[in-house]
Chains A and B, each alone.
Chain A
Amino acid sequence: MTDQTALFEYLLRLGDNTLVLGHRVSEWCGHAPVLEEDIALANTALDLIGQTQMWLGLAGEVEGSGRSADDLAMHRDVWDFRNLLLVEQPNGDFGQTLMRQCLFDAFHLELLTDLTRASDDRIAAIAAKALKEVTYHLDRSSETVIGLGDGTEESHRRMQAALDLLWPYVGEMFTPDAVDDAMLAAGIAPDLKALRARFDTRIDAILTEATLTKPDSTYAQSGGKTGFRHSEHLGHMLTQMQWLQRAYPGAAW
């Protein structure tokens, strides 16, 4: 794998994470339990889609084949997506959505913090911009996880169920492969082991305050960021997200 190929793959991972999660979160628009939460979810989705434009825009530039951020988002099929399995999981109930958000935000915040020091200025600049937004996302998702975890018997039960369901998708974020190794060697990506330690400290504190129990198992699903095997949910999501470009390729307005 050349450095350029690894860089392109890595940028797709960053951009596909924010794209897929941004789309998932936007599915709540008009359906959230209260108006304030509806607005909060839509705003979070908007930030993530904005970050996608920057990451996939840079990916297209690095690839050098003239593909734009829109082309990459709308004209690829499941097997070309490089997002984590966690972010493609369905919304479930409101608690499950916020648990997914909190787990991703905690990882995202630590990752972006390190990427602000990347040897590639373009990556460092996008990370610095995104970090401000993601700090805000984690503030909100962690407060909500704590509020619902340490809430009523029913909300506690649902948050524990959400954590149990989503925990097997946490490991993938920290399991390095050839792309991660190449980016680490290039001074771009952080060491995922060190990142995991910071993630654990952060998540343990949140879960303790939320009176939730972290599952014992270290079993981790894999196949999202490599594109080897996505869960069935991504394909269904793309039929919604991409239907217009599939029906009218290249349509613009």
Chain B
Amino acid sequence: MTPDLSTIWNWLDQVPDPEIPVISVVDLGIVRDVAWQGDTLEVAVTPTYSGCPATSVIAMDIETALHDRGITNVRIKTQIAPPWTTDWLSDKGRAKLTEYGIAPPSPAGGPDACPRCGGTQLTRISQFGSTPCKAHWRCDDCLEPFDYFKCI
């Protein structure tokens, strides 16, 4: 019996992002579609940034997770259009990012508040950070540096 798609989405929601393991690949919004093509499960994945080195690891993690659940034929399809946007981050994912110490993306172009103390006096240190998807900020209230998930 082939598992239904909602079960598969639940399984994928347990595959952590390799660089920010508190959120899943589904939270990140990069799993765009899951569909059966005959006895092959096709998973459409979109890259966050075109050069993100995590992309191939993510594809492998998804394949492994599905194999572990007994799905033998998995095909990962890279889909670049429409391009990934941080609007696709789930609410659950945004909350988890904050809890983890990463300010979630905000359309204002910068973080709303410090993920540690909630302070709103913030200074940008660099437009780039430890991974392509993040920028580096500092809270002027608690003086701690923190990562901000860039809004794109």
Contact = CB atoms under 8 A, between A and B. Distances in A.
Q: Is the interface of B mostly helix, strand, loop or mixed?
A: loop
Contacts, number: 66
A88 to B, nearest CB: 20
Given A50-B51, A51-B50, A132-B83, 7 more contacts: A36-B136, A39-B126, A39-B128, A47-B132, A51-B51, A125-B83, A129-B47
A53 B80 CA distance: 12
Interface residues of B, number: 22
A61 interface: no
Interface residues on A, range: 20 to 34
A243 interface: no
Interface in B39-74: 47, 49-53
B1 interface: no
Contacts of B38: none
B52 A50 contact: yes
A133 B85 CA distance: 11
B61 to A, nearest CB: 19
Contacts of A49: 51
A121 B79 CA distance: 13
A245 interface: no
Interface of A: 36-37, 39-40, 43-44, 46-51, 53-54, 121, 124-126, 128-130, 132-133, 136, 139-140
A47 B130 CA distance: 14
Which among B47, B80, B127 has the greatest number of chain A C-beta atoms within 10 A? B127
